[in-house]
Each structure stands twice: as structure tokens, then as C-alpha cells.
Structure 1
């Protein structure tokens, strides 16, 4: 029996992620015939992606009913699943998140999921997320909230604490690590299975090849690669040799969580390259919307796991995905229950069920605990719109090496984000 559902995609005006999610939804046979409602505050970008959705839907033959609207609340009526990819003035504010701390001597990498940048992503994003889930509590209280927006750990933690809406965060970083491990082992990525365990942007446990072979092979191959390509994941490999598990998902993201993270590079996000890529994608979309041929890769799954989660929750069968970000509650026994954890998850019509891989190695758990504490304070600062708690979150963050710098950057970034910071509870 075919089951159909209503999927609401918030932030659908994003070209890159919007395309990625459309590809995955339309190539998932179990979802054929469902309703997809695209939502974005930018009417022009939304109309563009809705037009693309109609083209890809027709090309795939998946038979979706496509809707689009700027009215989020009405869109949520009857939804079974809500995908969130919304962000607030993302690139402009992200630049400030990186540049202002650097001006005060804070050495960091991306400034997105950790450090001062991660704090201000949290402060401005959580009010928007809570607006969405409060509407869900009224309009579709049984729906599953699937988050792709950063900072995912903090969003999942906040909703675990303060909302009854079922939530999972999904990040493709795990598969970036799979590709890195496959490169080192000189194996096809499809032959390397991975399971996430820890927190977003931290460790990965590889389940194939078998552990003894893996540890020996990764160690010798890693040393060989280090000599011939010192630019390839040097920080990640140092941590692998020190702690025994391969961290995810790149030196830049991994580096956001560590006091010595600047050793992974201090250039920040490549905004110029991002704009070039967006322009290229915009041109390709224009060509398709003008009647050009749909690129072959757009007719296949993109690798995101959102559609797999939805299909698993709809069908009367259990489906396991490699990792999801969930409210911990014992999934990782040696991290606090009141934390966001990354773990494999089983999905069925009854909900999301984390699969525990047991406790993390003690040293890794202790390394992660430093970030758990920062995330907990950052969430409290955001939901209460408290500058006092925000300062406390900065002062316990491993990357912040000066109380004076913390106070100065707090004042400047708070002012830049003032219009978005407000209490959530």
C-alpha cells in the first residue's frame, strides 16, 4: 500500500541546498505522490526554486504535488514532516562572526558551529527555530522536525529541552569523512561503511574494514600520506593518532571545537569561491528553466538523508541511517543526558530511535564534554536573550584566550545581531 504525506520545506529558496533536497526527495520511490510545500520569505528565490521543483518532478516521474508560499503558518497545516534549512542573512553575518573575533585576537577557523561565531549563530537562529516549532505545536504537533541548519547541535539541544516536537538533525559531514578514509585506504567510498558517534563535527567510528585492519592501515597510510600530501587533513590525522578514532568532517569544522583549532588554518570560509559556485549554479538552473536538458546527476539522489528518514517513518518497516543528531538521553552513556549527541538512528512509524554504540573512549568523551558545556550555556543565552550568559559561554569556550577580547567582541557582535536576539521561552 502506497502511503503519501505532506512535507513542508522551510528555507526552500536556497539554490544549493534546495536543489540537493529536491533531488533526494524526487528520487525516493517511497515518497512518490506526496505533497511538497516549499516555504521561504524571499518570494523571488522561492518562485525560482518552485519552478525548478516542477521541472525535476516531471523529469523524475515521481508525481509529487508541488506548492509554494511565503506564509509559513498556513503551510504547516496537515504536515507530517518539516524540513528546516532556514538561515538569517547568512553570509553577511557569518563574515562578521569570523572577522570581529579575529580583530580582537581570537584565532579560529570557520566561526560557524563553535567559538564566538557559533555563539552568535545560536543567538540569532534559535528565535526563528522556536517560531517554527511553536507554529508546529499548534498546526501539526505530530510532525517530525528535520533540521539541516547550523548550529545543529544547539538547535537539537534547545528543542530537546524546551519543545515537545520530535526532532532530528542531519549532517552530511559523516560522508565527507568516509571519503577521506576511503582515500587513505585506497578503497572505493562505497566499500567503507561509517557510523557517527559523538557530536556534530566530532568522531566517526568506521565499521568496515574490520577494526584491527582499519587501525593498522589508517595509521600506516596516514603517515605515508602525511609525507606526500601534508595539506590533507593534518589536524584530523593528528587527532586520529592521539585518540584512535577518525574525527569528522574536515579540519575546518573539527577545528571549530578546539583550543588549537587555528592550526587547521585561519582563512575562514571562502566567500569568494562560494559566490562563484552560486553564480555557476544559477546559470545552470536558468538554462534548465529555459527548456534546457536536466543534468544527469540532478535525476539521482544527492546523498542527503532527509528523504530516507521520511520514508522510514512512513513505512511499516525499520530503517537505520548512519548518524543523526538527537537529544542524548543515554544514546552515548558517558555524555550528559542533557546534550545533543550524534549516533546511528533507527526510524520507523513510531519515531526516531537512537542506536547506542556504547560509551565513547574516555579521552574522547572528556574532549567532547568541554563543548557540551559551551553548547548548554549558549542555548540558555539564546533562549533567554541574556548577554550575561552569553559572556559566560564565551569565557568557558576553549578558543577564547582573553576575557577582554570576549567582552569586546560580545558588545560588537551583539549590536550587529540585536534585531534577531529575543527570548524564546
Structure 2
């Protein structure tokens, strides 16, 4: 054991993400004996996940002390780490973020992290995030804020600008791209190592190597990709051909940030499948809580890196985290310091240390600069609750193809989100 800590998990009532986080914490032996405080405003969901936490804790032998509460502020006292997985009225508002711009002729893919949807996700999410970090500044100012909530770039950028709290955002997008590349290479994903840099959902794989030998796999990828199923990831591959590197993390996520992203499909998120998957998971959890066997995969790590970050921050040797969203400040030298970027990081007791892979190729940096500018304006619109700045963000966004549409959708989505939009600074 390397030590014990207090971990506060805000948004712990989420079944899908909550389960993954519990799996990771309880399978990380360095954290055994720590305190886990689960926080959620939904008492019923919180009770279910707390009961599940006790079951998994016992099954793993991790000896965590488990607490739960709907009161966030007192829960933060003494915390070393705060995990954020909060979201506001997720599916209902996400549907509006997608459908209302479409009504006004905006062609887009998901409506979550880019385009009008990304703007309004930022406008309604940042006030809640700032409520959390202001409480942290008062009650646990040395704690590390580990963010999993979207939109990651805008949250990390806003906190880099306006908070003293140490922050890292985490996303599994890099691993999604590694798996896609391994599929084309016809290799097990575990044998493929990737190193990427860029923005969240807009990283570029600067290196693709065979894990145990260091062999450069880019030549093999370029050869095999030419003959791979043309229906697989067409937008990603078009960018690969044009810019020479493989972008992360999927056509849908990339498409949110590009004027032509819709050309690879504009069906939007599959809300029906989401509901079906959640119902299936709910049934499985309820069966376990009724005395059924714990599924074997629930006794192992999920692949997310939250628990690894915590273990690294407690260990003198530190921990390499393949991909983290951080405030730039030179990590990617040809992007603005005032940007949120996704790069490899080293985490140790002194903090989160971005690993610079050097400048991006010039054309890629110029492509990303457009999105950096959109995100900078979106953050300012959110922290100031400014409809005027929100309109400016829309008018420079490459997804928005009409000033008239921008004004119309702004009015409608602003009204739908009015109760959540308020100044943060």
C-alpha cells in the first residue's frame, strides 16, 4: 500500500460511468483502504450506486471506506481528489442541441462538443463546474480536480483561466483511435502504442509503434489503409490522406468540429440505443444487488485512467498517463498558451506535468486554431452569461453556415437553457 486518500466522486449516480469508476478504483491496489465519498443530487440513483459500491468493494477486498451524501460542500472537506462526472438533464437537452440547429439548416453530427450543441453544453455546464471548484477552493484547495464531463476542452480552458484548482480532463478517445488503427493493421490493440497531441476529440497520432519493439507502424498503416473497407471511418481517413497523420477519435466526434463533417453522416446520437443499454445495465445491477453473481469483468479495470491518475499523484515514482486534457501553456508550442490541449502527461505528487511532443505539423495546427478560437469565445460567453459573445462564437464556428440561422437557434436554445445560464466570475 502506498497510502490512503479521500476521493470524492461527484455525479456518482451515473450507472454506466459510475460502474466503470468503481471498477477502476477497487482494482487499483495502491488505493486500498482509502475513503470514497459518493455524491449525487438524485438520492435514488445514489443509493443504488452506493449499494453496488459496497458489493464491489467486498468482492475486490479493497477495504475502502464508502460514504454517500447529496450534500456536496461538506463532502469536500479533506478531499485529495475530486472526480467530476456531472451532466445536466443529459438526453433531453442533448436532443434539443441537435434538433434545433437542424431545424434552421445547420448540418452537423452529434451536437455535443462542437457546433451550436457544444456552445450550449458549455453555457449550461460551466456554472455547475464553477460551483464545485469554488467549494474546492474553500474546503480542499490542494485537491486535484479530475474531469470526465463534456465539453472537456471548454471546462479545462475555463478552469485554467479562472481558477487556482489543479485540473486534468480525461477521455478514452485516444484508445478508440488506437483500436481503429489496430483493426486496419490487423494487430491486437495491446501490441499497438500510440502517442497523440491536439485537442480533445481532435488529437492527431504523431507516433504509432509496435509496443515491445518500437517499430514505426505508420508505413504499414498507410499501405493497409488503401485496401481496407471503404465504409470504415471515411471522414477520419479523408483527413489522414490530406494531412498525413491519423486523427482521433471517430467520424462523429471529428465531424462536430468541421464544416464538412456531416458528409460522413448526420444521423446524430442514437438515443434509443442509449436508453436500451441503460435499461439492460440497470437490470444487471439490480440482479447483482439482489444477490446475483458479480460479472467477471466488473472485477477488473474498465480502461479509463481516473484511478491511475490518483495512484500516480500518490506515488513518488509517478505514473505516465497516455492522454490528458490540460491548460496548454507551451505543451503544444504552435497552439496558443490560452487553450486546452490533449497530450500525454506524467502525474506525481507534485502535480500533473504535460509531456510535449513538439509542435504539430503547420497545416494541422492551423486547422485546430479555428476550433481553439471557437472554444475561447464559448468559455467567455459562459462565464459571463453573455448572449452577445455566444452569437460571436456561433458566427466564427465552421459548422454554422448562416447568420440568420445562428440568431434564430441562439434565441431558441438560450430560452431552453435559461435556468442554467448564469455568470461564473
TM score, norm. by length of structure 2 = 0.98
Structure 1: state its 5+ residue gaps: none
| 1:12 positional shift | 0.3
Q: RMSD across aligned C-alpha pairs, in angstroms?
A: 1.1
| 1:211 positional shift | 8.9
CA distance in 2, matches of 1:261, 1:39: 37
Structure 2: state its 5+ residue gaps: none
CA distance in 1, matches of 2:318, 2:61: 26
| 1:204 positional shift | 2.5
- Contact conserved, 2:208 with 2:216, CA < 8 A, in 1? no
Residue 164 of structure 1 corresponds to which residue in structure 2? 164
TM superposition outliers: structure 1 runs of 4+ over 4 Å: 210-213
| 1:231 positional shift | 2.3
- For 1:150-193, what per-residue CA distance to the aligned partner results, in whole angstroms no more than 9, with x for missing partners? 00000000000000000000000110001001000001000111
Residue 317 of structure 2 corresponds to which residue in structure 1? 317
Residue in structure 2 matching 1:220, options 207, 210, 223: 223
- Contact conserved, 2:209 with 2:216, CA < 8 A, in 1? no
Residue 289 of structure 1 corresponds to which residue in structure 2? 289
- Contact conserved, 2:2 with 2:314, CA < 8 A, in 1? no
- SS across alignment from 2:159: helix
Residue 196 of structure 1 corresponds to which residue in structure 2? 196
**Does 2:19 match 1:16?**
no
CA distance in 2, matches of 1:361, 1:103: 37
Aligned length: 422
Residue 206 of structure 2 corresponds to which residue in structure 1? 205
TM score, norm. by length of structure 1 = 0.98
- Contact conserved, 2:317 with 2:348, CA < 8 A, in 1? yes
Residue 353 of structure 1 corresponds to which residue in structure 2? 353
- SS across alignment from 1:224: coil
Residue 27 of structure 1 corresponds to which residue in structure 2? 27
- Contact conserved, 1:8 with 1:37, CA < 8 A, in 2? yes
| 1:408 positional shift | 0.1
| 1:219 positional shift | 1.7
| 1:99 positional shift | 0.2
CA distance in 2, matches of 1:52, 1:84: 19
- SS across alignment from 2:77: coil
CA distance in 2, matches of 1:218, 1:141: 46
Residue 180 of structure 1 corresponds to which residue in structure 2? 180
- SS across alignment from 2:205: strand
Closer, same or farther in 2 for the Cα pair 1:237/1:32, shift >3 Å?
same
CA distance in 2, matches of 1:185, 1:193: 12
- SS across alignment from 1:208: strand
| 1:69 positional shift | 0.3
| 1:403 positional shift | 0.1
- For 1:292-330, what per-residue CA distance to the aligned partner results, in whole angstroms no more than 9, with x for missing partners? 000000000000000000000011112111110000000
- For 1:33-90, what per-residue CA distance to the aligned partner results, in whole angstroms no more than 9, with x for missing partners? 0000000000000000000000000000011001100000000000000000000001
CA distance in 2, matches of 1:283, 1:25: 23
Which residues of 2 match residues 305-344 of structure 1 at below 5 A?
Answer: 305-344=305-344
CA distance in 2, matches of 1:163, 1:263: 39
**Does 2:10 match 1:6?**
no
- Contact conserved, 1:192 with 1:206, CA < 8 A, in 2? no
| 1:212 positional shift | 8.3
CA distance in 2, matches of 1:211, 1:144: 33
Which residues of 2 match residues 50-89 of structure 1 at below 5 A?
Answer: 50-89=50-89
- For 1:349-387, what per-residue CA distance to the aligned partner results, in whole angstroms no more than 9, with x for missing partners? 000000000000001000000000000000000000000
CA distance in 1, matches of 2:207, 2:54: 39
Residue 374 of structure 1 corresponds to which residue in structure 2? 374
- Contact conserved, 1:82 with 1:144, CA < 8 A, in 2? yes
